[in-house]
């Protein structure tokens, strides 16, 4: 029996990543309806993930996953944070703005953070959060990934997210770590593999 899980986004990069990460679990990941939109009024990634998951579950009547993720840069007091996707009109503009904000900064430490909420209509079933620490480079490197991936270096790997192959990125990324937590059901005892 196929079980459907709605991803509360129309971001194709996130959709493809989640499909790969949940491959073999029995869940078929579908995008939210094309006109789906949620105003991200939360002040944390977790709040926004909850808003998205609940809205998608109400809209579709199916279990839904809300993912909110972004980049928190130490020298910028955690910015762009929950505004990561709104830091510019496209990836190039967001990266340019970030690099300009860090011009002359010695501290280039940063974290990619991912919060995921799983909901059914009217109720959040479980939520998890994970992060990956790294360093912001002075210029982009690599052609893979999306978003801030070309400037986010994982020091122990010596590569940016944009230089990692898919399997490496899924092992090390904030989203990969969050999905593994979700699958293990570590938050509130609800695992999507049990249903």
The residues annotated with a catalytic role in the active site are: 68
1: pLDDT strictly greater than 80: no
Mean pLDDT of 141-148: 92
pLDDT average, residue stretch 92-111: 97
CA distance 143 to 137: 15
- Under 8 Å CB-to-CB from 114, ≥6 apart: which residues? 45, 67, 68, 69, 129, 130, 131, 173, 174, 175, 177, 178
Q: Give the domain extent around 69.
A: 3-194
pLDDT at 188: 44
Predicted local distance difference test score (pLDDT) of residue 164: 96
pTM, full prediction: 0.89
- pLDDT computed for residue 187 by the predictor: 38
Tell me the average pLDDT across 84-94: 95
pLDDT higher than 50, residue 194? no
In this prediction, what percent of the chain has a pLDDT beyond 90?
77
What pLDDT, on a 0 to 100 scale, did the predictor assign at position 192?
52
Amino acid 10: pLDDT:
80
pLDDT in tens, 111-138: 999 999 999 999 999 999 999 999 999 9
| pLDDT at 189 exceeding the cut of 70 | no
More confident residue, 146 or 117: 117
pLDDT tens for residues 61-82? Answer: 999 999 999 999 999 999 999 9
Q: Is the dihedral of CA 181, 162, 139, 11 positive or negative?
A: negative
pLDDT in tens, 7-39: 998 888 788 888 988 888 888 899 999 999 999
CATH number at residue 95: 3.90.950.10
Instruction: Return the half-sphere exposure (C-beta side, CA atoms, 13 A cut-off) of residue 18.
Output: 26
What's residue 26's pLDDT?
84
For the chain, the domain total comes to: 1
pLDDT for res 25: 84
């Amino acid at each position: 029996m196929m079980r459907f899980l709605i991803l509360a986004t129309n971001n194709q990069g996130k959709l493809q990543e989640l499909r790969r990460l949940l491959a073999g679990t029995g869940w078929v990941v579908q995008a939210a309806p094309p006109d789906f939109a949620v105003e991200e009024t939360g002040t944390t990634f977790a709040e926004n993930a909850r808003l998205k998951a609940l809205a998608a579950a109400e809209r579709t009547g199916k279990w839904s996953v809300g993912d909110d993720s972004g980049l928190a840069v130490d020298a910028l007091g955690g910015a762009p944070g929950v505004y990561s996707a709104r830091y510019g009109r496209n990836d190039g503009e967001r990266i340019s703005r970030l690099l300009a904000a860090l011009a002359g900064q010695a501290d280039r430490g940063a974290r990619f953070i991912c919060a995921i909420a799983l909901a059914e209509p009217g109720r959040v079933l479980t939520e998890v959060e994970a992060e990956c620490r790294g360093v912001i480079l002075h210029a982009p490197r690599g052609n893979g990934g999306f978003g801030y991936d070309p400037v986010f270096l994982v020091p122990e790997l010596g590569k940016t997210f944009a230089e990692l192959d898919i399997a490496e990125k899924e092992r090390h990324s904030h989203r990969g770590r969050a999905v593994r937590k979700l699958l293990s059901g570590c938050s509130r005892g609800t695992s999507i593999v049990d249903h």
